[in-house]
Amino acid sequence: MAIEGVVGSDVLGEALALIREEVDRHFDVLLPVPDDARARLFEAMRYAAIGGGKRLRPLLLTATAQMYGVNREAAVRTGCAVEAIHVYSLIHDDLPCMDDDAMRHGQPTVHLEYDEATAVLAGDALHALAFDILVSPQVTSDPFVRSELVACLAKGSGMDGMAGGQMMDIVAEEAGEGDDGFDLHTVTRLQQLKTGALLSASVEMGAILGRVPPEGRTHLKSYARDIGLAFQIADDLLDHEGDEELAGKALRKDADAGKATFVSLLGAERAREQAEMLVRQAIGHLSSYGEEAEVLRAIARYIVERDR
């Protein structure tokens, strides 16, 4: 996908490689396998949390935090809280009763590598771990910042955020593409909740760590809203046209299920144009920032250019 003025891709490549290594290192410390009957739970949590994924949420969080001079370790640790929520949602999403997926990040899903009960529990335990991380001294010693982080993450992941969006996604699948199918407005709302809310929380939590007051977060939240939607359109396009091996998961499931997506509703060409427009708009929201927002701008471009 061609976006004009692709600069800073080296900056982004380095930032992506660094955050991957940092998140893996933190999860390794956060999840020591105990010498008791809980070992299988911790092993399953490590299997899901370490080594895979783009780490887009921790990247957004640390890139935002960096703009405000936040301590790197604190930002990475907070990024792990958001990533723990993301990983738990993937484990539960892949379950037989949900999307019934066999592959994730190029390896068997947790319920196949372990078993379904362990997968449910590993997701639940990662969910609790996210909030446990936020109250650790490594994140902040300021109780006000801490409670703002908790509020932001709980809101972004719960019934008015990610979990609510996942419910809409299940209903959309049942509704199919016919007269009962979702229209563009409803699919947009669905995706704003399902993926947008947590991406948005990532950016906002970076700003919270940087002690940016709520009224100072407006442009950042607009940026996050636009890249969240662009991200989902790009995902629909990859699902439509992508390479399963590169993606490390099964593709074209939405079309097979007859589910309404941005591609089925707009067609591939208009969907692509829409994603590119959103990326330009997202970058526009950062116009009051200088060089310090270069990574956020590069992330916006990367979101529609990635091949997996």
Residues in contact with a second copy by CB under 8 A are: 31, 36-38, 40-42, 45, 88-89, 92, 95, 97-98, 111, 115-118, 120-121, 123-125, 127-129, 131-132, 134-135, 143-144, 146-147, 150-151, 153-155, 157-159, 161, 163-164, 166-168, 170-172, 182, 186, 189-190
Q: For residue 103, what is the enclosing H or E element? A: strand 103-104
Give whichever of 186 and 222 is closer to a second copy, judged by the CB atom. Answer: 186
CB of 19 to a second copy, least distance (A): 24
Give whichever of 173 and 292 is closer to a second copy, judged by the CB atom. Answer: 173
Tell me which amino acid residue 38 is: R
CB of 161 to a second copy, least distance (A): 8
> What CA–CA distance (Å, rounded) separates 202 from 220?
10
Give whichever of 151 and 246 is closer to a second copy, judged by the CB atom. Answer: 151
Q: Are strands 107-108 and 103-104 parallel, antiparallel or unpaired?
A: antiparallel
Give whichever of 45 and 63 is closer to a second copy, judged by the CB atom. Answer: 45
CB of 17 to a second copy, least distance (A): 29
Query: Can you give the C-alpha Rg of the chain in angstroms?
Result: 19
Give whichever of 92 and 297 is closer to a second copy, judged by the CB atom. Answer: 92
Cα 202–chain centre separation: 8
CB of 64 to a second copy, least distance (A): 21
Give whichever of 16 and 45 is closer to a second copy, judged by the CB atom. Answer: 45
Q: Considering only CA atoms, which of 203, 201, 83 is closest in space to residue 133?
A: 83
Q: How many CB atoms lie within 10 A of CB 178?
A: 8
Residues 6 or more apart whose Cβ sits within 8 Å of residue 186: 168, 172
Give whichever of 79 and 123 is closer to a second copy, judged by the CB atom. Answer: 123
Residue 44, CA distances (Å) to 25, 39, 93, 115, 236 in order: 17, 9, 15, 9, 29
CB of 240 to a second copy, least distance (A): 23
CB of 217 to a second copy, least distance (A): 17
Residues 6 or more apart whose Cβ sits within 8 Å of residue 182: 172, 175, 190, 260
Give whichever of 88 and 223 is closer to a second copy, judged by the CB atom. Answer: 88
Q: Considering only CA atoms, which of 227, 45, 41 is closest in space to residue 130?
A: 45
Q: Considering only CA atoms, which of 147, 144, 125, 123 is closest in space to residue 134?
A: 147
Give whichever of 63 and 153 is closer to a second copy, judged by the CB atom. Answer: 153
CB of 145 to a second copy, least distance (A): 8
CB of 116 to a second copy, least distance (A): 3
Q: How many CA atoms lie within 13 A of 210 on its CB side?
A: 22
Give the three-state DSSP class for 108.
strand
CB of 76 to a second copy, least distance (A): 19
Residue 130, CA distances (Å) to 29, 86, 87, 111 in order: 14, 10, 10, 21
